[in-house]
Amino acid sequence: MLLAAALAGFLLGAVVGEDEEAGMLQGLLFAAVFLLLGLEAAAGAWWWTRRRAAQFGLSASRYIRVGRRIQRGEPPKDAAELPAAIDRHPQGTSGAPEAPHRRA
């Protein structure tokens, strides 16, 4: 993910730059900015996950595993994971309600 962000930033800077040297320098600048934004997003997500997992007395990796199992429809194997599984379970759908089917 971070490599793709850096490559995209470099290519964007190279396209935006007018002459060859300015384009290369601008490409490196964009790559650095995109890389830093990607690192910040990844660090923020990991921090949030660690904090949420600590509320249930789990490590971040175990909390993520519980979430993956819930997405696959598997119940938690350990009783200590049950509160985290309840927290990770989606509560209903977020889409619009279905219209009733009527025949005219």
Which one has a higher pLDDT value, 74 or 18? Answer: 74
- Round to whole Å and give the CA distance between 81 and 43: 24
Q: 3-state SS of the chain: helix, strand, coil percent to 5?
A: 70, 0, 30
Token pair 């971070």 is at which residue? 2
How far lies 45's CA from each of 5, 50, 51, 76, 77, in Å?
Answer: 17, 9, 10, 23, 25
Residue 58 has a pLDDT of 92
- Give the Cα separation of 50 and 60 in Å (integer): 5
* pLDDT value, residue 50: 94
Q: Output the pTM of the full model.
A: 0.60
Above 90 in pLDDT, residue 46?
A: yes
